[in-house]
Amino acid sequence: MGLRRKDLLGLQDLTREEIDLILDTAESMREIIDRPVKKVPTLRGKVIVNLFYEPSTRTRNSFELAAKYLSADVQSVAVAQSSVQKGETLLDTARNLEVMGADLVIMRHSEGGAPHFLARRLRAGVVNAGDGIHEHPTQGLLDLFTIRRRKGRLSGLKVAIVGDILHSRVARSNIWGLLKYGSEVWVAGPATLLPPGLEALGVHVTHDLDEALDGADVVNVLRIQLERQQKGLFPSVHEYARFWGITPQRLAACKEDVLVLHPGPMNRGVEITSEVADSHRAAILEQVTGGVAVRMAVLYLLLGGGGTGE
């Protein structure tokens, strides 16, 4: 079995069968997280390196815990202190980690394509933990995992992704994944935050939030980066909340049992109200647990799928 690939770079290049395999494996992993003893020896003696060129507590913690639950050793390289600042190339840094024993490099980088560059040059596996505005595949997978658990399927759904689509690798990974299953994807946001070209993929693009929400089964609410306001991409936090914030009133356009997702960290009262975030319609904490499960599945499948360890 296994994934027959050494890297996870994006949902764009995964087949539906591969995604199914990851999600099915994540279901088994999910059970481990609920056990009193959250530890299996599967990846004992494997070395996983977090190489993060952008800060991220949340994603890094999730990968680290996933690795620990599988008994792998994790090494986290903080960029601020690293040789990167000494002028070393990305490839030299990564090759050094590889020859120290790294079996898998989890990488976040501000440049789209950086993990692909590394993946072609390393024997070790590479997992993209976010590259620029390109992809964030484990976030996409955890969204699919959460939708499948709540809705029982990934096909035939109407999914609305709302907010800053332009800068969102989360949106891109979701789009690639959902389209493969034949769901209908709508994106909605301020005109300044919608990228060109999505229609060509079959995505419905609109500036009318209610149109996107109308009959939606799932609403994926993107985090608004407050620092973008200074660049004039949206007028004010207050206006953003008023026109694009997901409130109970707005959700009235959706189906009764609409599922609300958010990749976190949330700006409560801006892109989502607390009333929605804390309601039974939202699965925001389930996403976080699912994220650990999905990452356990990815580590497990990339590092040999059970043939190694013990």
Interface residue list for a copy of itself (CB under 8 A) = 33, 35-39, 44-47, 55-58, 61-62, 64-65, 68-69, 73, 75, 77-78, 81-83, 86-89, 92-93, 95-97, 99-101, 226, 264-268, 285-286, 288-289, 291-292, 308-310
Task: Give the tokens for residue 48.
Answer: 């996983």
- Residues 218 and 267 sit within 8 Å (Cβ to Cβ): no
Q: Is 108 annotated as a binding residue?
A: yes
Residue 5, annotated as binding a ligand: no
Q: Which of 112/264 has CB closer to a copy of itself?
A: 264
Query: Which CB sits closer to a copy of itself, 149 or 268?
Result: 268
- Kindly give the interhelix angle for 16-34 and 137-151, rounded to the nearest 10 degrees: 80
Could you say which DSSP state residue 254 is in? S
Nearer to a copy of itself, 254 or 284 (CB): 284
280 is in an annotated binding site: no
Shortest separation between residue 253's beta carbon and a copy of itself, angstroms: 26
- Shorter beta-carbon distance to a copy of itself: residue 15 or 57: 57
255 is in an annotated binding site: no
What are the angstrom distances between the C-alpha of 226 and each of 118, 129, 150, 246, 261? 31, 22, 30, 16, 19
CA–CA separation, 208 and 204 (whole Å): 11
Query: Residue 39, annotated ligand binder?
Result: no
Instruction: Give, as one character, the DSSP assignment of residue 279.
Output: S
Strands 125-131 and 158-162: unpaired
Helix (H) / strand (E) element for 50: namely strand 47-52
Q: Is 305 helix (H, G, I), strand (E, B) or coil?
A: coil
Binding residues, by number, are 58-59, 86, 108, 136, 139, 169, 223, 264-265
Tell me the binding residues for L-aspartate.
86, 169, 223
Q: Which residues are annotated as a binding site for carbamoyl phosphate?
A: 58-59, 108, 136, 139, 264-265
